[in-house]
Chain A
Amino acid sequence: MRGVETRDWLRDGLRAVGSGLLSIVLAILNIPLFVLFVVSLVLTPVLGLGLAAVPAVTALIRARAELARRLATRSGVSIARPYRPRPERMAPIGWRRYKWIITDPATWRDFAWLLPGAISGLVLGILTLALPAYGIEGIVLLPLWLYLGTDWYGYGVIWPIGSVAEGFLSLPQGIVFLALGLAVAPYVPKVEFLFARLFLAPTRAAELRLRVTQLTVTRADTVDAQAAELRRIERDLHDGAQARLVSLGMTIGLAEELVERDPRAARKLLAEARETSSTALVELRHLVRGIHPPVLAERGLDGAVRALALTVRIPTTIDSDLTGRLETPVESAAYFAIAEALTNVQRHSGATVAYVSIHRVGEALRIEVGDDGHGGADAARGTGLVGMERRLAAFDGTMTVSSPPGGPTIVTMELPCVLSSPRTMLSSGTD
């Protein structure tokens, strides 16, 4: 056990030292980017060359900054993308593109980061490398110095080394330096990225702007989906239950006319009317299930998913710690997402067992639908998965699919239990 820990510690340390090297290389890269940007800006009045040069250089700078953000996220400092969304239908070169870039504060913040980022990267990168290197020097080069007998040299706290005994003291010192270097190295990038975050993270205004963009998109999706849903319901009612009720009225009316003249025919018509009424009911039941399953209204998410599991062809276990009821829209979104996921399991996975787990994690609802099938589900390809993702997005929910070839497939969904937006519509109780 201890051995494993030591190895982990050593591996982390070595990897961090490697990343120190990377950080130095990347830091040096910042300098030409800085120069290029300044030059391209200066070129703007000159023949309008900047119109092409600035966007090109900015693309490079953004790629560099995005790399820093990704590396930062990997070492636990998450930095969101701050850029304004691209305007639609934008020419590759031109004033609009130039303006889009020049007016985005994130461009200037990236630019402002280039030099301080380079310095911090260099300093911290060198520090990461230097400490272990000095340690190794103390350990490895000792015999050399002893052999050479150079009395002008020293190591660590002893300067210069005057005797063999003092020379041997560099060995433990070297080990301490090396250990210290390896121990500190994993934390150095964190410092670097915390510093970078000051420049590279979106400002509060940018954050809000991004949020507005996201809300606009999800709202448009939601409104579209809702309109389509209403249209479908209208059509189903019009062609289904409504038409059947009309025919029911006609049949009963006819039976009424015939009841004295031809009781046998009247009786037959009444039986027909009853048949029509049951068909209408079956259709309505189907429709209602698609709008808001009654069992969901009656039992909440937990009960409804249990009821669902009983009707799924693959044995499905439910693991849920929900108590009480969630907000109706959340409940409904979660239910339909789970239903869709289970339908996918049934149709495509070839699984023999499936599971659904529903847990509250803080303020969020974390749902997992997994199976032991052959995997290979692709969120980008399956229209069902895309639809699920969109529906969840309306609630700031997220969905991730892990489905390597050979399985297993795990769909993880997260959505906030409490809707963050203040509700502007009065919602009536369910009936």
Chain B
Amino acid sequence: MRVVIAEDHALLRDGLTRILQAFDFEVVAVVGRGPDVLPALLDHKPDVAVLDVRLPPTFTDEGLQAANEVRRRAPGLPILVLSQHVEPLYARELLSDRRGGVGYLLKDRVSDVAQFIDAVRQVAGGGTVMDPEVVAQLLDRSRPLDVLTPREREVLGEMAAGRSNAAIASRLFVTEKAVSKHINNIFTKLGLPPSEDDNRRVLAVLAYLDS
């Protein structure tokens, strides 16, 4: 799989490159400045891009701007955005085209290499991966979620993080059947149309949380 990386810190850039290469990703371009991101993505049309939010020269949100712009110009190009902090506001912007193939994670998550690689693959495959922190922040303030049981909220968080039923089941030490029952309950309680597609499911939940 071909990857473009945008990250300005040399240490992190090398670390990311090394990790991705170790898992047989082909790193086709590494850029360190905001204005270089868009051309690199449009030129290489990678299978997935890993972008840092804050890049030179202004050190604001160039990476995110580039991500939003490239999604306009090359719809559906899978992008995983990394940051030192997560904001539901940014998540909302990334998800606004409702196409999937989007990830938004804290940089800390890279240290769990297996899970990080899993997330990259999921995004490349058109899935949606949100950092648990985003989900936690949204869960924390959404009032209607009071109707959910603690277990259901837990499942909801796992689901928004882009995990499949099987993955959720193994993480929560329950059967897959129990998970799908919880998920059905969640969808019923929140009044969302049921869906089998993992990605649609995540988007529906996030859209709901963000409303």
Contacts and interface: CB of A to CB of B under 8 A. Distances in A.
A180 B167 CA distance: 87
Query: For chain B, what secondary structure do more than half of its interface residues adopt (helix, strand, loop), or is it mixed?
Result: helix
A295 B59 contact: no
A97 interface: no
Interface string B40-68: 00000000000001100001110010000
Interface string B154-183: 000000000000000000000000000000
Which of B64, B85, B106, B107 has its CB near the most chain A CB atoms (within 10 A)? B85
Interface stretch (A38-46, A80-88, A120-128, A303-311): A303-311
Contact of A430 (B59, B61, B137, B138): B59
Interface of B: 53-54, 59-61, 64, 83-85, 87-90, 92, 106-108, 111-112, 137-138, 140-141, 143, 210
Contacts of A311: 88, 137, 140-141
A322 interface: no
Contact of B89 (A277, A289, A306, A313): A306
A237 B210 CA distance: 34
A221 B106 CA distance: 37
Contact of A298 (B54, B111, B141): B54
A25 interface: no
A343 B140 CA distance: 14
A297 B55 CA distance: 12
Contacts of B88: 307, 310-311
Contacts of A303: 89
A295 B89 contact: yes
B141 A294 contact: no
A90 to B, nearest CB: 52
Q: Which 10 A-B pairs have the closest CB atoms?
A: A307-B89, A298-B61, A310-B88, A298-B60, A313-B141, A281-B108, A307-B87, A294-B85, A278-B108, A274-B111
Contacts of A307: 87-90
Contacts of B89: 295, 299, 303, 306-307, 310
25 contacts: A274-B111, A274-B112, A277-B108, A277-B111, A278-B108, A281-B106, A285-B84, A288-B85, A294-B54, A294-B84, A295-B85, A298-B61, A299-B60, A299-B61, A303-B89, A307-B89, A307-B90, A310-B88, A310-B89, A310-B210, A311-B88, A311-B137, A313-B140, A313-B141, A429-B59
A277 B141 CA distance: 28
Contacts of B83: 294
Contact of A295 (B87, B106, B111): B87
Kindly state the interface size class of chain A when it binds its partner: 20 to 34
A87 to B, nearest CB: 50
B103 to A, nearest CB: 18
Nearest to B142: A313
Interface of A: 274, 277-278, 281-282, 285, 288-289, 294-295, 297-299, 303, 306-307, 310-313, 429-431
A313 B61 CA distance: 26
A306 B61 CA distance: 15
Nearest to B88: A310
B92 A310 contact: yes
A281 B83 CA distance: 12
B146 to A, nearest CB: 11
Contacts of B59: 297, 429-431
Contacts of A310: 87-89, 92, 137-138, 141, 210
A430 B65 CA distance: 18
Contacts of A274: 111-112
Nearest to B62: A298
A277 B107 CA distance: 12
Given A297-B60, A298-B60, 19 more contacts: A277-B111, A278-B108, A278-B111, A281-B108, A285-B85, A288-B84, A294-B83, A295-B87, A298-B54, A298-B61, A298-B64, A299-B89, A307-B87, A307-B88, A310-B137, A310-B138, A310-B141, A310-B210, A311-B141
B82 to A, nearest CB: 13
B88 to A, nearest CB: 4
Which of A299, A312, A431 has its CB near the most chain B CB atoms (within 10 A)? A299
A313 B88 CA distance: 13
Nearest to A295: B87
Contacts of A429: 59
